[in-house]
Structure 1
Amino acid sequence: MPDYAIADDGVRLAVEERGSGVPVLLIAGQATGMRGWGPFADALAEDFRVIRFDHRGIDDSEEGDPARYSTRLFADDAVAVLDAAGVAAAHVVGHSMGGRVAQWLAAEHPSRVRRLVLIATSANDRVAPRRDPTAVADLLSGDRSRMTPLFFDDDWAQANASTVDAFFTRTASRPALRGHFAASRDHDAVEALGRIRAETLVVHGTRDPLAPVEHARQLAAGIAGARLDERDAGHGLHLDTPEVVEAVRAFLLPPAQRG
């Protein structure tokens, strides 16, 4: 597989993969680099061919025009990544804004998605209850001490400093960061949820300050047959809650291979 995929508008997207078997495409959150998947990607690579990429404007991917950024554009980028990998269809796992991107991917490119996992995400920002403005301000502050509690439990963060650092560290211009924020803020796939045909698992933390758990409940209700898995966790539960990666792994594996 090439180190880069080429988006429809010519933007080069940095791609990495590891493992073998059925492909799993990981779609990262807002302004988050692919290396932020850390041990989650490592664990899945024991059973799957894991493909991850940097969103346009982040780390090793080209920026393009940030004024055009949207979750639908990012979904088209994900298709370009699959094409470059020679993958007709993959399991798709999206975290936060990546879950919003994954919604469009599954709704508008259904043949490309085998099973769908949506972690700590929602169909739009207008779902009641609205997220806490203080949490949004902390997220946008760039202050690691303010951002970390939104995602991770304190004890876990202190014991896993390198994973936390990899999650938050990325290179991006201010226009790209603004474009990512606007893309996530303006996302609205409520009407598209009914078009998702992939078997879907929705995983969410009941203490998520950036996406109240009611968002996950409404998201799961809008996707036919979706399973909802609620955990006592925050926004970064895919990293700080070991049971989450095991639940995702079990959902994606054929029944005969589940431990």
Structure 2
Amino acid sequence: MSENHSVVAADGTRLAVSVRGRGPALLLLAGQSNDHTWWDGVREDLGVGRTTVAVDYRGTGGSDSPEMSYSTTMFADDAVAVLDDLGIADAAVYGTSMGGRVAQWVAANHPQRVTHLILGCTTPGDAHGVPRSAEVRRALAHDRSQEVLTDLMYTPRWRAAHPGPYRTLGDPTMTNHARHRHLQASNNHDAWDALGDITAPTLVLHGSDDRMAPVGNAALLADRIADATVRVFTGARHAYFEECHHEAGPAVTEFLGR
């Protein structure tokens, strides 16, 4: 089954949702300034025997782009509104990058809705986490080119074998307002005090050579969440979930099967 849905959030914002497969639900939350196509390279791996639900954040894809401030808690509320509209009582939640920040709030604020939590290449927020280096911050601030982003996402070896196009470099249809608000939402994220409220079994995944979200954040998250384990993929960068999908996909499905 493959369907596209339109869900209305609490404030009237229309959210586009892609639903595939049948079985227990797996909610997929993409990185900053990306829509559901972020998952296209690995969704088939994750969707065996499951219903995968991938949301276009407000400001991306087919969703509305309201002229307002965004936050990771707002995105989490939108995700729960999607589950409500689809009649999904509970789901496994897999968030990567900013999607991992959003997933933290879904699990902390709605523990009864989350059966399993997977946090990939993400952080608890810079206030208590390990921030990216000044060099990377300068590169992102002054050169948001596809080349810079691609280098942060994938190793040269992967890029040589997979010349693209890449689905993880941002939604080109976004307005400047939405792109800026996504950046603010991600930068302002701080779930440190809420991580202890997460009760779902949690798997934390990270690439060892991630310069976008340094790997030290994986241990910080696991230390704050009661039932959490960590797996690090040696040599991988930010998009470990795609470059290492032959390992990461089975790790996720094995975890969800517990």
Please report the TM-score for the alignment, with normalisation by the length of structure 1. Answer: 0.93
Counterpart-to-counterpart distance in 1, 2:174 and 2:156? 27
2:248 aligned with 1:247: no
The DSSP-based 3-state class of the residue aligned with 1:168 is coil
Identity %: 39
Alpha-carbon shift at residue 161 of structure 1 (Å): 3.3
Structure 1: which 5+ residue stretches go unaligned?
255-259
Give the alignment's Cα RMSD to 1 decimal. Answer: 1.5
Q: Which residue of 2 aligns with 1:104?
A: 105
Question: After superposition, what is the alpha-carbon deviation per residue over 1:71-128, rounded to whole angstroms, capped at 9, x for unaligned?
Answer: 0000000001111211010000000000000000000011111100000001111335
The DSSP-based 3-state class of the residue aligned with 1:165 is coil
Counterpart-to-counterpart distance in 1, 2:103 and 2:129? 21
Alpha-carbon shift at residue 199 of structure 1 (Å): 0.5
The one-letter code of the counterpart of 1:238 is F
The one-letter code of the counterpart of 2:79 is A
The DSSP-based 3-state class of the residue aligned with 1:166 is coil
Q: Give the count of matched residue pairs.
A: 252
Alpha-carbon shift at residue 196 of structure 1 (Å): 0.2
Higher percent of residues as helix: 1
Q: Which residue of 1 aligns with 2:181?
A: 179
Q: Which residue of 1 aligns with 2:91?
A: 90
Q: Which residue of 1 aligns with 2:193?
A: 191
The DSSP-based 3-state class of the residue aligned with 1:30 is coil
The one-letter code of the counterpart of 1:50 is T
Counterpart-to-counterpart distance in 2, 1:245 and 1:222? 24
The one-letter code of the counterpart of 1:187 is H
After superposition, residues 48-87 of structure 1 pair within 5 angstroms as: 48-67=50-69, 69-87=70-88
* Conserved? CA contact 1:138–1:147, under 8 Å: no
TM-aligned CA distance change 1:236 to 1:58, over 3 Å: same
Counterpart-to-counterpart distance in 1, 2:83 and 2:38? 20
TM-aligned CA distance change 1:212 to 1:127, over 3 Å: farther
Please report the TM-score for the alignment, with normalisation by the length of structure 2. Answer: 0.93
2:248 aligned with 1:234: no
The DSSP-based 3-state class of the residue aligned with 2:37 is helix
Counterpart-to-counterpart distance in 1, 2:211 and 2:168? 18
Counterpart-to-counterpart distance in 2, 1:151 and 1:105? 25
The DSSP-based 3-state class of the residue aligned with 1:179 is helix
* Conserved? CA contact 1:2–1:85, under 8 Å: no
TM-aligned CA distance change 1:149 to 1:2, over 3 Å: closer
Alpha-carbon shift at residue 142 of structure 1 (Å): 2.8
* Conserved? CA contact 2:31–2:98, under 8 Å: yes
Structure 2: which 5+ residue stretches go unaligned?
none
Q: Which residue of 2 aligns with 1:3?
A: 5
TM-aligned CA distance change 1:129 to 1:167, over 3 Å: closer
Alpha-carbon shift at residue 230 of structure 1 (Å): 1.2
